Amino acid sequence: MSSTVIEHELDHELPSEVFLPRSWKMPIALSIFTLVAALGFGLSLSNTAVSRVAIVTGNHWMGTLNFILPSLTTIIVLTVIMAAMAGIAWWASANRIVKIGRVRIAFWIGVIFGTVFVLAFLLWAVADRGHALQFTSLLSGALFLSVPLIFGAMSGTVCERVGVINVAIEGQLLFGAFLAAIVGSMTQNPWLGLLAAPIAGALVGALLALFAVRYWVDNIIVGVVLNVLVGGLTSYLFSTVLVRNTDVFSIAVKLPTWRIPILCEIPVIGPILFAQNALVYIMYAVVIILQILIFKSKWGLRLRACGEHPRAADTVGIKVNRTRILNTILGGAIAGLGGAYFTVAAGLAFGKHMTAGRGFIALAAMILGGWKPKGALMAALLFGFADNLQNSLGVIGVEVPSQFMLMAPYLVTIFAVAGLVGRVRPPAMEGKPYKG
Amino acid sequence: MSEISDSVDAGAPKTLMWRSTLRKITTSTVMTSFLAIVVALLIGAFLIAAADGDVQRTAGYLLTRPGDFFAALGDSVGSAYASLFRGAVFNYSASNPGDFFVPLTKTIAYSVPLIFAGLALGMGFRAGLFNIGAQGQIILGATLCGYIGFTWHLPAGIHLIACLIGAFVGGGLWGFIPGFLKAKTGANEVIVTIMLNSVALYLLGWLLTLDSFRNPDSYLPVSPRMLPTAWFPHFFSTAIDLGFVLALLAAVGVWWLMERSTLGFRIRAVGDNPDAARAAGMNVSMSYVWVMVIGGGLAGLAATSQLLSSVSQQLNGNIASTFGFDAITVALLGRSKPFGIVLAGLLFGGLRAGGYIMQASTGTPIDIILVLQSIIVLLIAAPPLIKAIFRLPDPERRTKKLAKAHARLEEKAAKESVEEVTL
């Protein structure tokens, strides 16, 4: 990951005679998508088509809101907004404007355009169908599906910031899910399962640290092999011990859903964010704590120093390899906690390879999020949304091949890594052993 | 790391020659590989015993009747590994003497995709590229090879060649993408290939829903069977077919390419030091593209053993199995050299062939093979660890120790000289 083109963000003021190169990628892309929306969604609808949208507000007084929107008119309005965003992008590129005040134009245009485009797509997809678009469940499902992705991406962020590439997220999730299920089932207590999950992840993280930091083995090799090891070990134990004693090891236990008293009464947002189980609340805390600590605390500074310039860190007295080992184990524990999602949070017993590649999507989310907790959170939510959209459209009966929806996160990541969408820069010395 | 020669002993007197020879043997890569396999088998034995009902029961009264425990232990591990051997190498319990070596032919058949994909990844490793994408390249190779195999009507032989070309082109195309992106934009090939693996899987899943790919007689998303004109000819009605010969030829081809051709020299130079290669006037970007295209093509050929041999013969979502990931372990165990990869492929092919027999006869799940493979590779990737386990001399640590001792002496001398000055 070190050979990626390094492009520093130009945060400081430039002398007035120096011009940034114009980039036309964004306006061109936005214009193409606007055309797609106008032609693809607009032209294929009749004048009388209506789109139904149901929003469960979760509030006593408001109840469920049912909207019946004229599809064509609504989509025309949305397309005009998209065209306006594309226009602003053209204007910004032509005048080399990157920021207005502290606000990065490209980011916000992208967010607004993306939201509007997805909305137009949804209204087009449900136009003239018997089912209404269940807005609230679409979003709350997306949040729930992104839980393991977020934990995995946080784990990746911690590990890579300290200089160890963590490809073993998949294995950490799987082992976390495994131990959480076993402990939860044996004790009949989902909380103990939740407690066991990070221990399992930390074990895999410790192995990663042992080989990557202590023995200088290539991080990616260790990661890939650990995934195979955990996959094989859990499948082996599943087929032998678990299958023979289902009454002991395979009883599904589930974390209760906690409705946060006042917050869950907030219309729409309440039932989405504050009627979840404990794992989701832990996730909020982990993301916020990491975002603050990585960039504002002594621990975070040391962490980043070990990943960016270990020799400099060593010179000022930071024990580089010790820091790397401890934080890789911490990262493993975070991913392991995310593994609890598959078993005790979802109320399922363990199944072979039940993480099904989520660790790799988490890796993608971390990269797309620019190795920052906040960005990784956004990317993971986006991927969770794409995943849930695919389920929801299937329920409505829309003929979009589900494979393309599932492919989307991976394709977006490839574009991002190739520098077509945004710019991402990994920690400079990640994956490089520090030999002191 | 293990390549560091034992330069410390270069000037050792002749009486110590035997010690230096002994050290050379014990620190050699062959020895490390062998010991890694031994450790993996021991850990595997522990897992087999731990999951065995009799062992668990007898462990309950271990202190009163230890004999029972050890008998059960030996029985469970012994029978599992015996059936592994019986399934991979030599079937001593075959009723017909002609069947004694049937397992060996199965091993060879299972090793073919591993050798192809292992060669592909080994090439990448030597160019300093981490091609984790063999899985996707196999899927794309299978897609193109399969499509040609069940739709085109060509005479036998020509059809087979068309399928092989299709597999190579499909895999090569999927390898071209990360190679091209790496060359043009510096996109990290590890991330791109991991992502492309999943894209390939979903692409194939989608294709199998189309009428042009789907078998109309089946409820499952599978393609029609390959036409017999595209099948590999078998040798002496055994499991060994033309695929193995092609895999060996590919190994020789890769050896020639890497060791004797200009392109191979360039690839190795880029792998050792891209900056130096660039300074010497080599086109580093093009080397990356070539490695990924040829590697992708070789990985694509791994699909032929699934489609044109007797294993599956129809395209399905699981066509690549886990060959792409197994190939990483094969390439590492073979140390990225063609000959080593063939041997590693045979070993892992044997584990797979034997694993199926072991699962059938003793009920030990085949998943344990994955555990064995990954432990072997982890230990081989970290030679100092295996040396620490067996308390073998570690040349690197020895040099380090000597260097430390030297440093200490020098420090002492410096101190003394300082003291002299102050006196």
Tokens of B370: 């994955």
Is residue A9 packed enough to be buried (19+ CB in 10 Å), middle (13-18) or exposed (0-12)? exposed
For residue A49, the 8-state DSSP code is -
Closest approach of B127 to chain A, Cα-based (Å): 14
- Tell me whether residues B191 and A1 touch, CB distance under 8 A: yes
- Tell me whether residues B205 and A3 touch, CB distance under 8 A: no
pLDDT at A9 over 80: no
pLDDT at A4 over 60: no
| pLDDT for the residue numbered B399 | 66
CB contacts of B368 in chain A (<8 Å) are 232, 236
pLDDT at B393 over 70: no
CA B260-B263-B265 angle, to 5 degrees, is: 55
Phi-psi region of A23 (alpha: psi -120 to 50; beta: other; left: phi over 0): beta
Winning range, highest mean pLDDT, from B19-28, B191-200, B251-260: B251-260
pTM for the complete prediction?
0.85
Least confident of B53-62, B258-267, B338-347: B53-62
Count of positions (residues) in chain B: 423
Mutation pick from B143, B321, B367, B369 vs chain A, by most beta carbons of A within 10 Å, is: B367
Winning range, highest mean pLDDT, from A260-264, A312-316, B25-29, B60-64: A312-316
Distance CA A347, CA A66 (A): 31
Mean pLDDT of A305-314: 93
Mean pLDDT of A401-427: 76
On whether any CB of chain B is under 8 Å from the CB of A226, the answer is yes
Residue B294: which pLDDT band, with cuts at 50, 70 and 90? very high
Least confident of A359-363, A427-431, B9-13, B418-422: B9-13
- Tell me whether residues A419 and B187 touch, CB distance under 8 A: yes
Closest approach of A193 to chain B, Cα-based (Å): 22
**Mean pLDDT across chain B:** 84
Mutation pick from A1, A4, A224 vs chain B, by most beta carbons of B within 10 Å, is: A224
The pLDDT tens digits of the residues spanning B201-243 come to 999 999 998 888 888 888 888 888 888 888 888 877 677 888 8
| pLDDT for the residue numbered B2 | 41
Distance of CA B363 to the CA centre of its chain: 26
Winning range, highest mean pLDDT, from A84-98, A206-220, B383-397: A206-220
| Dihedral (Cα; A193, A194, A200, A201), 10-degree rounding | 160
pLDDT at B167 over 90: yes
Query: For chain B, what percent of residues have pLDDT higher than 90?
Result: 34
| pLDDT for the residue numbered B27 | 58
Q: Which of A407, A417, A426 sits opposite B199 (nearest CB)?
A: A407
Find the residue in B nearest to A231 (Cα).
B370
Residue A269: which pLDDT band, with cuts at 50, 70 and 90? confident
Greater confidence, B418 or A49? Answer: A49
3-state helix, strand, coil in chain A (%, to 5): 65, 5, 30
CB atoms within 10 A of CB B215: 17
Distance CA A294, CA A300 (A): 4
Residue A10: which pLDDT band, with cuts at 50, 70 and 90? very low
Find the residue in A nearest to B365 (Cα).
A236
On whether any CB of chain B is under 8 Å from the CB of A367, the answer is yes
Residue B111: which pLDDT band, with cuts at 50, 70 and 90? very high
Distance CA B85, CA B103 (A): 9
Tokens of A176: 């976390």
Count of positions (residues) in chain A: 436
Least confident of A142-156, B7-21, B44-58, B175-189: B7-21
Residue B18: which pLDDT band, with cuts at 50, 70 and 90? low
| pLDDT for the residue numbered B295 | 95
Least confident of A62-76, A134-148, B107-121: A62-76
- Tell me whether residues A407 and B203 touch, CB distance under 8 A: yes
- Tell me whether residues A228 and B370 touch, CB distance under 8 A: yes
Mean pLDDT of A254-277: 84
Is residue A348 packed enough to be buried (19+ CB in 10 Å), middle (13-18) or exposed (0-12)? middle
pLDDT at A38 over 90: no
The pLDDT tens digits of the residues spanning A65-78 come to 788 888 888 888 99
Name the residue with tokens 């997220």: A169
Find the residue in B nearest to A241 (Cα).
B51
- Tell me whether residues A414 and B181 touch, CB distance under 8 A: yes
Distance CA B289, CA B267 (A): 10
Q: Which of B198, B329, B385 sits opposite A410 (nearest CB)?
A: B198
Closest approach of A390 to chain B, Cα-based (Å): 13
pLDDT at B122 over 90: yes
The pLDDT tens digits of the residues spanning B358-379 come to 888 888 888 999 899 899 888 8
- Tell me whether residues B325 and A228 touch, CB distance under 8 A: yes
Q: H/E element holding A68?
A: strand A64-70
Residue A191: which pLDDT band, with cuts at 50, 70 and 90? very high
Question: What is the DSSP track for B207-269?
Answer: HTTSTTTS-TT-SSSEEEEPPGGGSPPBSTTSS-BHHHHHHHHHHHHHHHHHHHSHHHHHHHH
The pLDDT tens digits of the residues spanning B239-290 come to 788 889 999 999 999 999 999 999 999 999 998 888 899 999 999 999 999 9
Phi and psi, residue B315, nearest 5° = -75, 130
Mean pLDDT of A28-54: 83
On whether any CB of chain B is under 8 Å from the CB of A350, the answer is no
pLDDT at B113 over 90: yes
Closest approach of A412 to chain B, Cα-based (Å): 9
Closest approach of B372 to chain A, Cα-based (Å): 8
Distance CA A379, CA A152 (A): 12
Distances (CA, A) of B180 to A302, B170, B291: 36, 15, 11
Does residue B37 sit in helix, strand or coil? Answer: helix
> Could you tell me which residues come within 8 angstroms of residue A159 by beta carbon, excluding any fewer than 6 positions away?
A165, A166, A205, A208, A327, A328, A331, A332
- Tell me whether residues B188 and A228 touch, CB distance under 8 A: no
| pLDDT for the residue numbered A3 | 42
Mean pLDDT of A361-368: 88
Query: For chain A, what percent of residues have pLDDT higher than 70?
Result: 93
Greater confidence, B391 or A304? Answer: A304
| pLDDT for the residue numbered B82 | 87
Is residue B254 packed enough to be buried (19+ CB in 10 Å), middle (13-18) or exposed (0-12)? buried
**Mean pLDDT across chain A:** 86
Question: What is the DSSP track for B210-223?
Answer: STTTS-TT-SSSEE
Distance CA A222, CA B159 (A): 41
Is the ipTM reported for this complex over the cut 0.90?
no
Contact between B39 and B378 under an 8 Å Cβ cutoff? The reply is no
